[in-house]
Amino acid sequence: MTRMLEVLERMRELEADLEQEVAAAQERWHYSFEAGKLRFESEVRRQHQLLKTSIARYLRESDIPSMVSAPIVYSVLLPFFLVDIWVSLYQRICFPIYGIPRVRRSDYIVVDRWKLAYLNTIEKANCDYCSYANGLLAYVREVTARTEQYWCPIKHARRVHAPHARYRHFVDYGDAEGYKRELPVLRDALQKEKRR
């Protein structure tokens, strides 16, 4: 248990380092948030506009396989919208019943690359698509992670590649007594999150 606490402390330190890196990037690339709005310094914005590739040039320089496959990439958008709506409804209906705090969708789905002046309309659409899709999947993952913590917080027998953040607190596979003991503890911890 001591080793696990050491690892958790190191993770907290790394998260603090990451926050410092984000602040350094804001300073390095000359942007800030004023009244909740992202702002670039005017000279930086002007330089960005000079670097924008025209749509005609962008299409001319694009390779044919990428252009032909674009409709396939974008075809996933409708299923993503349906998943977004369904998962949002699911947690609005079920989480209050279980006492689980709802996941804030806006913490995961961040679509802000369209504000970059060095991107043309096609690049902005591509970036927004990727931002939405990856944010949606992270949002869905957190909703399902909270569901798993409530209903079945047991680790798998085999190593899981890139497990969600809650997984490390789950009970070891095969630990029947630990499961019976820890299930109410893990549920209580989850339910208390909304009170913080």
Q: Tell if the pTM clears 0.85, that is, is over it.
A: no
Query: Where residue 195 falls among pLDDT bands split at 50, 70, 90?
Result: low
Res. 196: pLDDT tops 60 = no
Q: Looking at residue 1, what is its pLDDT?
A: 60
Name beta bridge partners: 31: 40
Give CA–CA dist 76/7, Å, rounded: 38
CA 56 from chain centre, in angstroms, equals 33
Q: Do 109 and 139 touch, CB atoms closer than 8 A?
A: yes
List pLDDT tens digits, range 9-67: 888 888 888 778 767 766 777 677 777 777 777 787 888 888 889 999 989 999 999 99
Residue-range domain boundaries for the chain: 41-195
